[in-house]
Amino acid sequence: MSSRKAWGLVAILGVVALVFGGILLSLDRDAAEPSLVQYNAQYIDAGAMLRLTETLSSDALEGRATGSRGNEAARDFIQKRFETLGLRQFGDTYFQPFTATPVVQGGAPVSGVNVVGWIAGQTPGDGPAMVITAHYDHLGIVDGEIYNGADDNASGVAALVAVAQYFTLHRPRHDMIFAVVDAEEIGHLGSNAFVASPPVPLERIALNINYDMVSRSDAGEIYVAGTFHTPELKPIVETVATEAPVRVLVGHDDPALGEADDWTLLSDHEPFHEAGIPFLYFGVENHPAYHQPTDDYTDITPDFFARAGDTLVMAAIAADDALEAIEVMRRAD
Ligand SMILES: [Zn+2]
């Protein structure tokens, strides 16, 4: 997730990137098999999801700040996964480059790149489509410390890839678009660029599902936000909650909660929401490592993460099944 505090760090990132520009990347391609997952995942490849999380949050990627070499390396990993899964491209590339100005005082324009692929649904033509998002950028190196962003949001990216893998093997009813977006931490710039220049007409996008911080919960709980704004989604979420292998809590989307606890505007679902598109945001409660250099792979909760991964597939299946109804309610609003 992003915060005003994080945006304040952005000004020095450019200088830091130059200072550390000489450090060679030595990527760990042979991460250890995770041993802490007792849960037997039903829908996802938990081992692959954990290994991708570990790779994206390794020191070699230097915190994945937008415009940095670590960010570019992360993007290449994601692109290769999309290729391996056989996700379709819009045009002849997975990349959607953009230039935008960070939401920070005096912020200079930055160049970012979204990674976008899709799976054709069983329903042909120009019917409703779903967009699943997760941001891959994080805070980079600040005061010599690497902000690895394992939970925020290497976890969401790895979960998105795991969900995409499921649907390559079990074709969805409707077109499913997977957008791994850049520059979230400096103002949701990648998701803004996606909504401003979508690869399909915006009218076709019936729902956004966003993953941001889905791997770390000692309590075994994940929140889903969005039903306050689209109450018609509540029965779908409640059905998933009764069957999910984690505790699914509905909330964090009521403006009455105040700025800190209403997450409506705090991650990449925000531009979709502003465009009138219903969203479901999945994420864990803020933890002490949130936006700290201690957001490391070694401190995520792997068993919970595997359960959360299955839950995200279950939610995507339920949303895909209900997408016509969701589109109808969008048009009615
Ligand atoms: Zn985040």
What is the distance between the alpha carbons of residues 61 and 84, in angstroms, rounded to a whole number? 21
Q: How far is the CA of 332 from the centre of ligand 1 (A)?
A: 32
- Tell me the per-residue pLDDT of 189-242, one tens digit each, with 9 for 90 and over: 999 999 999 999 999 999 999 999 999 999 999 999 999 999 999 999 999 999
Residue 305 lies in a domain: yes
| pLDDT, the chain, mean | 90
Q: How far is the CA of 150 from the centre of ligand 1 (A)?
A: 10
Q: How far is the CA of 124 from the centre of ligand 1 (A)?
A: 34
Residue 128 lies in a domain: yes
Q: How far is the CA of 257 from the centre of ligand 1 (A)?
A: 20
Residue 156 lies in a domain: yes
Q: Which residue has the higher pLDDT, 22 or 322?
A: 322
Largest CA distance in the chain: 55
122: domain CATH number is: 3.40.630.10
Residue 200 lies in a domain: yes
**Two structure tokens written together for 205:** 């996008």
Residue 50 lies in a domain: no
For β-strands 140-142 and 221-225, DSSP reports them as unpaired
For 221, residues 6+ apart whose C-beta sits below 8 A from its C-beta are 246, 247, 248, 249, 284, 285
What is the distance between the alpha carbons of residues 320 and 326, in angstroms, rounded to a whole number? 9
Residue 32 lies in a domain: no
8 Å CB contact between 122 and 173: yes
What is the distance between the alpha carbons of residues 322 and 329, in angstroms, rounded to a whole number? 11
- Tell me the per-residue pLDDT of 11-70, one tens digit each, with 9 for 90 and over: 555 444 544 443 434 344 344 445 578 899 999 999 999 999 999 999 999 999 999 999
8 Å CB contact between 249 and 222: yes
**Two structure tokens written together for 99:** 């230039």
For β-strands 221-225 and 145-147, DSSP reports them as unpaired
Residue 83 lies in a domain: yes
The residue segments making up the domain with residue 77 are 4-23+60-332
What is the distance between the alpha carbons of residues 314 and 329, in angstroms, rounded to a whole number? 22
For 141, residues 6+ apart whose C-beta sits below 8 A from its C-beta are 13, 16, 17, 20, 62, 63, 65, 147
Q: How far is the CA of 122 from the centre of ligand 1 (A)?
A: 32
pTM over 0.75: yes
pLDDT of residue 26: 39
With a cut of 70, say whether residue 329 has pLDDT above it.
Answer: yes
Give the total number of structural domains in the chain: 1
Residue 34 lies in a domain: no
- Residue length of the chain: 333
Q: How far is the CA of 135 from the centre of ligand 1 (A)?
A: 7
Reported as a pLDDT band with limits 50, 70 and 90, residue 140 is very high
Ion ligand 1: residue ranges with CB closer than 5 A: 1, 152-153, 212
Q: What is the CA radius of gyration of the chain?
A: 18
pLDDT of residue 6: 54
